[in-house]
Amino acid sequence: MDIDAWIEECLPKHVRLTESILSIAKSLLETRGVEYLSISGRTKDANSIHEKVKRKKYKDPQSQVTDISGIRIIVFIESEIQNVSDIINQSFNVDMKNSSNKDDGLSSDQVGYRSVHFVCDLGPKRAELPEFEGLCDLKFEFQIRTVLQHAWAELAHDRSYKFRSVLPKDIQRRLYLHAGLLEIADKGFSDISREIDAYTAEVIEDYRIGNLDLEINSITLRNFIEDWARSNDYPLETIKDETHFQNLIDELKAFGATKIADIIKIIPENYAKKSKELAYYTNIYGLIRGWLIIKDIKKLKEEIRVNWTLYDPDSSEEEYEIYKYFSTPENYDAILTYAEAEKYDMEDDEEHNF
């Protein structure tokens, strides 16, 4: 077989294949709600293919080299590996003979490189689509790792020549002891994730039976607000960033709300109805902070000293209609005063930004 001719013919196809699989895989993971750190694709170059054929002593590289196109998916915890594996099994034609779980290659007293590999092709259904013409007989590889598995692989398998070297026995032993710690941590994070899922299910059941005597935390608060929005047919805007949840919880606690039941006392009566009349909708941050603003803006600004600013009344008419409708006259005047002062503070900041 003329290897050079084969590589010259197949490489352009594999470049197309890698791009196609990367796009399909991203769409599948996002549609199924799988959280992942990163997903990347690469196509081996001619030199890498030559090197592998020579190193492995392949007689039939056309069928034996299955990773010219490769997709790497890095997830956060071990349980997500199974979710991704299920998606791959359902979505592609998997060559089980050439696929592997590197965990299975380790004996009970070993630690080391851990990763799940799937060798696949696009399958017969995609063969009928014109965009995959010429690609359906080509193999490609998925590699699935957790963040910690990836860290170990990069450190001691893929990247670092220092750690990949043949080391003195005592240093090698300590290196693998640390690999074992990463494996324990990986399994620990998966256990904690399952506990969080179980706790969330308990919280949802508590809401179902009317139990609101729950400590306010990010799980109970998010689920309560989502339940409130569903019950009141309020189209709550979604958020991706929950890094400021602790600030929100601290603000509620400053108002004496430590249990979910306490939040009920803060919500203005008929708030959802009036918001829908004005077509004013927001996310969990805007919703809760709006209730607290209506309750006592001075407390937020002078006692708690929150680090967020009020929106400009001229650009947020519906929001200020809500404030005016539910606030006392004194509180609404204070809201306008703070908003006006913050508006000029921001203008001054802009003037000093050269």
Residue 134 sits in a domain of what CATH number? 3.30.460.10
The residue type at 23: S
Query: Where a domain ends, among 126, 161, 196?
Result: 161
**Residue-range definition of the domain harbouring residue 156:** 3-161
Q: Is 317 part of any domain?
A: yes
Q: Which residues pair with 141 in a beta bridge?
A: 70, 119
| Averaged pLDDT for residues 23-44 | 95
Q: Which residues pair with 215 in a beta bridge?
A: 259
The residue type at 216: I
Q: Residue 162's pLDDT band (boundaries 50, 70, 90)? A: low
Contacts of 178 (CB under 8 A, 6+ apart): none
Q: At what angle do helices 317-326 and 271-278 cross, to 10 degrees?
A: 150
- The number of residues making up the chain comes to 354
Count of domains observed in the chain? 2
Q: At what angle do helices 284-298 and 317-326 cross, to 10 degrees?
A: 50
Are 154 and 271 members of one domain? Answer: no
Q: Is 172 part of any domain?
A: no
Q: Taking 50 as the threshold, does the pLDDT of residue 20 lie above it?
A: yes
pLDDT at 114: 58
Are 14 and 146 members of one domain? Answer: yes
**How far apart, in whole angstroms, are the C-alpha atoms of residue 204 and residue 197?**
11
**How far apart, in whole angstroms, are the C-alpha atoms of residue 297 and residue 350?**
25
Share of the chain above pLDDT 70, in %: 89
pLDDT at 136: 86
Are 258 and 148 members of one domain? Answer: no
pLDDT at 349: 47
Are 9 and 106 members of one domain? Answer: yes
Task: Name the CA dihedral angle for 203, 205, 210, 214, rounded to a multiple of 10 degrees.
Answer: -20
Q: 189, 255, 198, 245: which is closest to 217 by C-alpha?
A: 245
pLDDT at 84: 94
Are 21 and 141 members of one domain? Answer: yes
| Averaged pLDDT for residues 144-163 | 75
Are 28 and 152 members of one domain? Answer: yes
**How far apart, in whole angstroms, are the C-alpha atoms of residue 41 and residue 50?**
20
Q: Taking 70 as the threshold, does the pLDDT of residue 176 lie above it?
A: yes
Lowest mean pLDDT among 36-45, 95-104, 218-227, 305-314: 95-104
**How far apart, in whole angstroms, are the C-alpha atoms of residue 275 and residue 273?**
5
- In the block, residue with structure tokens 């380790």: 106
- DSSP annotation of 270 reads T
Half-sphere exposure at residue 158, Cβ-oriented, CA atoms within 13 angstroms: 9
Q: Is 291 part of any domain?
A: yes
The DSSP string of 154-219 is IIIIIS-HHHHS---HHHHHHHHHHHHHHHHHHHHHHHHHHHHHHHHHHHHHHHHTT----B--HH
Q: Taking 60 as the threshold, does the pLDDT of residue 156 lie above it?
A: yes
Phi-psi region of 123 (alpha: psi -120 to 50; beta: other; left: phi over 0): left
Q: Is 171 part of any domain?
A: no
Share of the chain above pLDDT 90, in %: 62
Q: Residue 303's pLDDT band (boundaries 50, 70, 90)? A: very high
Q: Is 40 part of any domain?
A: yes
Are 251 and 119 members of one domain? Answer: no
Q: Residue 228's pLDDT band (boundaries 50, 70, 90)? A: very high
User: Over the Cα atoms of the chain, what is R_g?
Assistant: 28
pLDDT at 164: 57
Q: Is 111 part of any domain?
A: yes
Are 224 and 283 members of one domain? Answer: yes
Are 256 and 118 members of one domain? Answer: no
Q: Is 328 part of any domain?
A: yes
Are 156 and 20 members of one domain? Answer: yes
Measure CA of the first residue to CA of the last residue in the chain; give whole Å: 66
Residue-averaged pLDDT of the chain = 87
pLDDT at 105: 41
Spatial contact of 321 and 278, defined as CB atoms under 8 Å apart: yes
| Averaged pLDDT for residues 43-50 | 93
Q: Which residues pair with 39 in a beta bridge?
A: 73
Are 15 and 152 members of one domain? Answer: yes
Query: Where a domain ends, among 129, 161, 193?
Result: 161
Q: Is 133 part of any domain?
A: yes
| Averaged pLDDT for residues 23-35 | 94
Lowest mean pLDDT among 65-79, 162-176, 251-265: 162-176
pTM of the entire predicted model: 0.71
- DSSP annotation of 92 reads S
Are 145 and 16 members of one domain? Answer: yes
Q: Taking 70 as the threshold, does the pLDDT of residue 106 lie above it?
A: no
**How far apart, in whole angstroms, are the C-alpha atoms of residue 192 and residue 166?**
36
- In the block, residue with structure tokens 């074992």: 180
